Structure 1
Amino acid sequence: MKQIKKNYKKTFQKTNLLVLLIFILSSCSSDDDNGSQPNLSSENLITSIVFTTANNTVLSEDITAVINQENLTITLLFPSGTDIHNLIPTIAISNFATVTPESDVSVDLTSPVIYSVKAEDGTIRNYTINATVSEPFSDREILEIFYKANFINTLDWNLNADSMNSWTGVTVVDDRVTELALSSKNINTVPAEFGGLSSLKALDISENNLSNFPIELGQLNNLERLVANENEISSLPAEIGNLTNLKYLMVEDNRLTSLPTEIGNLNQVTSLNSSNNFLVQIPSEIGNMSSLKTLTLNNNEINSLPDDIGNLSNLETLALVNNQLALLPATIGNLDKIITLNLGYNNLSIIHSNIGSLSAVEYLKLNNNQIVMLPLEIGNLTTLRELDLSDNMLRSIPSSIGDLTTMRLLNLISNELTTIPKKVCNLGSVISLILTDTNVTCL
């Protein structure tokens, strides 16, 4: 009987051990099954879409979409005149989801666009984007926006008047604004809507407090004259290169440190003045301004000129007074229509012989430099009327200057001359020879 109980006890223990082992194995199997089939996210929402100015140069402000999660529609409203053919969205979506097309990939919004968001578990939600561009404002509405954007302006405009004819500085033809004379009106901003003044031909906005122009400036396709002197403008938008009808560009007395390369597109401009700024260089593309007759860049910090300056075949006046020029490019000699060349107050020490090719020059000012030598070819300037060489370091001058019988003024004040070629002295009857040192002799 004791043996039977003992055997039964062993059998019972073995049975319990087997049951425990089966339970453990079953638990492990269950854990393995859960590990191989985790819970996958079903979230597939677009949470935001923004078209930023950083990714879209055609925009002057960020545009944020309105998302309807029930109807799965996304709506966008862009300002009047916006080109929506090629825009780049920044898209935020649910965690673990993907979107097609992807974020930061350009899309054409001129027709509806479908965006598909795929959740981690594979479920898909489709959104439809619809974009519209605001109807253009009338010229009067644009000027009203402009007026209100400059709330401390001194514009003499009655916004309640029946027409714009009484508004000071505004010229209207057939209800379209063609000229704006807005000088000294305490203006500090030009809103983006300004680009809608498509009939504008002349804009004078000088002596104000502008710090920049909107990129929509480039939409003023009929603009011929832009005067923005005496402001606080630190840069010009690249879109200024779209003003292909522009003839006069005046941005004197501002804070410009550079000119955009797109300025080379302005091949109708005849006069460009960017004096009294902080320019260090001028872009080589300036050589493409084939109609340029007057280029005035006085009182900047320009230290060199591009070789392309020699491509300005119609240039008549080049003024670079008070800059940092140490050397002139040889191509300066290509300017065969130049009449006035003013390079006073620079750091020039040697003048290239190609200066003798300036066959039309009448006024040549090289005063207040560090010139130690002049080329013999200066005697080829047979049209020269005035030659200012004062305040340099000349110890001699070439006798070929004596061949310049059309010259009426030769200024040699404050040099290191001890003698002057007799041939030059013999011009005395037709020339005003300015000297301060009475010890200078003719040889």
Structure 2
Amino acid sequence: MDIKDFHKATNPARTLKARNEEDQKCYIDFSEVRGEDIISTLKDSITIWNPDEPTCNLFTGHIGCGKSTELLRLQVELEAADFYVVYFESSEDLEITDVDIADVFLAIASRISKSLEEIVLEEPKKFQELLQGAWNILNSEVTGVKGKFAGQDIGYTVDGQKLSLSLGIGEITTKMKSDPTLRTKINQYLAPQKTNLIKAINQELLEPAISKLKQQDKNGLVVIVDNLDRIENTVKPWGRTQQEYIFVDQGEYLTQLNCHVIYTMPLALKFSNEYGILTQRFPERPKILPMVPVKYSDGSIHQQGLELMRQMILARAFPNLAPEDRLNKITDIFDTPATLDRLCQVSGGHVRDILKLLNPWIMKDKKFPLQGNTLEQIIRDQRNDFSLRLSAEEWQLLRHVKETKEVSDDLGYQKLIRSRFVFEYRDQGELWFDINPILAESEKLSE
């Protein structure tokens, strides 16, 4: 294998897409060692138990643990079951440092209307009335918009040509994302009307669209809102954290769309004092994608988990080989099999972090086989980087995690989870936590 091809194949920013045949050769199914096939659980909830009733599910896990890859696989499986699926990354539409509930609904409406443009729906009059108010704010605040759209209904351009609903909403959401002042003004207008906004989306977009889809022999509509777990935990002007505001205070509204919806949720909320209230807002408890275990809670090697992590790396080097044949090629890529195992173990089973170690390693060595001493240098550099971000109190919390394999709902633990200093694992239904192995080797944990 060419070293440049391997570097490209191990890009941490690239999500494996279930539709792509070459990507599927690199896909490794970790469900058996993670304790549950959560994607099958989500699929069954929609296709078997509630095909004709709206469902709302939350999906969470460490950022980078493979949620997007699994959700894209879910999309393909739902489409094979004759559901129409709208998947989108909400971070493309939302300013993740400042999100309001109206932003979320506008993003969803925009993506649905764009995806379903070929389906002819009646003019959404109530929806347009609501958006016209936002459009008026846009016209009055943004230079250049007035000349193009002033005095026109949101559904039409100045020359009388029909403007798609998705384009109309897209103009608003794009301006909102880039201009915080404008975003505040439009949210001040839309937030008090969120009930009417949801009603308009349901009655004028979702329900007629689903009716048309069923005429085309589809079983229903599923919306997957990815990357909502990435919204930052900033504090709103009234003192509420953004994550708790969206998923706890506004959680009831998130459940009111009349279609199947899956939202990704920040994992830190699982450790919030408000988590109990959050679970009351949603019909089902959040589904959690845990880490891939490469060891047990007692420190012994988890052989099956380690083997799957090996295959994750080897599949990117030798996608066309059978798993057992790839094992014979380890020393074509690494100086020793032990070096590959070291990479897998120090990643803690985090599927993006292992690539974040491997990708710069490839750039440093520039040739095969990759040398173990280079990996150790990268590990030390990353450990030093992590250590600089930790306070004395946080080191004490890490010592507690190391000893007990548990965390509490303390705000300090929320930061440790969010920053990937602590990982969550499942073992035959039992939950346990451990320190990121890169930090676990720090001498400070023994102080």
TM-score range, shorter chain: under 0.3
Higher radius of gyration, 1 or 2: 1
TM-score by length of 1: 0.26
Q: Larger relative contact order (C-alpha < 8 A, sep ≥ 6)?
A: 2
Q: Which has the higher strand share?
A: 1
The answer to which structure has the higher helix fraction is 2
TM-score (norm 2): 0.26
